[in-house]
Amino acid sequence: MIPIRMTEYPDIETPLPAVLRGKLRTEVFGRYHIEFLAKTGSTNAVAIGLAERGAAEGVIVIADVQASGRGQMGRGWHSPGGVGVYLSIIVRPPFPPREAPSINLIASIAVAESLPGVEPGAITIKWPNDVLINGRKVSGILSEMRVNDDRIDFGIVGIGINVNNAGGSFPPEISATATSILIETGAPANRSAVVRSVLESFERHYRTMISSGAGPILKRWESLSGFMGRRIRSVDPGAVITGVASGMDLNGHLKITDEEGREHILVSGDIEVIGD
Ligand code: BTN
């Protein structure tokens, strides 16, 4: 394959508000204020600040570079300029905090439905919300939430997508497990188009969740997940559970059935597939 140098591609894809809004077919998400930052620490941190000052559901924060992108479990998120999508969405859902994990599921479905040029069969979601192409991570989601009197004041859905990262450009600690749309398809993707698609898909599934509950979301998520019915191990230190991934409950928690037929509920953590 001929190596692709990103300098060959003009900066058509910077997801500037005007470019984004141009073709966006949503009613709420990305329709009001879009906070675009050429560089910031973390779009989630900025979005939390906006939400605390009363920003409405649908306001989004997007950056070209993050200096200290936040990842799951206190990890960072590799966020170089010009190649990735770093997006935070403010939500103010009407459902109770125990149903909040379904927002992550919605976000991961939205990303899985927004990877241009990637064979659908190559895309899987690894619980709770990593999106993989051919088994390598292309996107991660970090939601942060503020709860008041047992209701969700606001949630921030932070989405990172490796779009045009070149092969060999990831730091050593993730080079074996990370990928990008460019690496997988051999073609650069337009970041604005990816953001638009994520927002449209997110809004569609979010509305379904509000009108019909989590049932349809869980079905869609399970069809995209690469491991339902397979043997898995939860890799949380201290609480290793081995068994078959048997489904998801209405709160987005993973059900694992062990050898004795006992059902365990995994609320958070990491899993690995260990067999068919
Ligand atoms: C993960 O570790 O898998 C989650 C990564 C989430 C990264 C995104 S990038 C946009 C938003 N802002 C952040 O600081 N983190 C999330």
Q: Read off the pLDDT of each residue in 74-94 and give the average, rounded to a whole number.
A: 95
Q: Which residue has the CA at smallest separation from atom 11 of ligand 1?
A: 158
Does ligand 1 lie within 6 Å of residue 30's CB atom? Answer: no
| H-assigned helices in the chain | 17-22, 43-52, 101-112, 181-185, 191-212, 215-224
- pLDDT tens figures, 140-189: 999 999 999 889 999 999 999 999 999 999 999 999 999 999 999 999 99
Query: Considering the entire predicted model, what is its pTM?
Result: 0.91
- pLDDT tens figures, 14-67: 667 777 778 899 999 999 899 999 999 999 999 999 999 999 999 999 999 999
Q: Which residue has the CA at smallest separation from atom 3 of ligand 1?
A: 140
Does ligand 1 lie within 6 Å of residue 125's CB atom? Answer: no
1 compared with 61, residue with greater pLDDT: 61
Atom of ligand 1 at shortest distance to CA of 66? Answer: 14
Does ligand 1 lie within 6 Å of residue 68's CB atom? Answer: no
The residue among 36, 26, 93, 77 whose CA lies nearest residue 60 is 36
Q: Which residue has the CA at smallest separation from atom 15 of ligand 1?
A: 70
Residue 6 pLDDT greater than 80, yes or no: no
Does ligand 1 lie within 6 Å of residue 234's CB atom? Answer: no
**Ligand 1 probe mutation, 64, 159, 202, most atoms within 8 A of CB:** 159
Does ligand 1 lie within 6 Å of residue 41's CB atom? Answer: no
- pLDDT tens figures, 179-229: 999 999 999 999 999 999 999 999 999 999 999 998 899 889 988 987 888
Does ligand 1 lie within 6 Å of residue 108's CB atom? Answer: no
C-alpha 74/C-alpha 85 separation (Å) is 20
Does ligand 1 lie within 6 Å of residue 70's CB atom? Answer: yes
Q: What is the 3-state secondary structure (H, E, C) of 58-82?
A: CCEEEEEEECCCECHHHCECCCCCC
**How many other β-carbons are positioned within 10 Å of the β-carbon of residue 83?**
23
Angle CA(140)–CA(31)–CA(48) in degrees, nearest 5? 50
C-alpha 254/C-alpha 264 separation (Å) is 8
Provide the residue ranges of all domains of the chain, joining segments of one domain with +. Answer: 17-224, 228-275
Does ligand 1 lie within 6 Å of residue 43's CB atom? Answer: yes
**3 confidence band (pLDDT: 50, 70, 90):** very low
Q: What is the largest CA-CA distance in the chain?
A: 58
Atom of ligand 1 at shortest distance to CA of 72? Answer: 2
Q: Which residue has the CA at smallest separation from atom 16 of ligand 1?
A: 158
Atom of ligand 1 at shortest distance to CA of 42? Answer: 14
Superfamily of domain 17-224: Bira Bifunctional Protein; Domain 2 (3.30.930.10)
Q: Which residues contact 260 (CB under 8 A, 6 or more apart)?
A: none
Q: Which residue has the CA at smallest separation from atom 9 of ligand 1?
A: 160
Does ligand 1 lie within 6 Å of residue 140's CB atom? Answer: yes
So what's the pLDDT on residue 2? 42
CATH code, 228-275? 2.30.30.100
CA of 257 to the centre of ligand 1 (A): 30
Residue 9 pLDDT greater than 70, yes or no: no
Compute φ and ψ for 216, nearest 5 degrees.
-60, -30
Q: Read off the pLDDT of each residue in 76-100 and give the average, rounded to a whole number.
A: 94
Does ligand 1 lie within 6 Å of residue 86's CB atom? Answer: yes
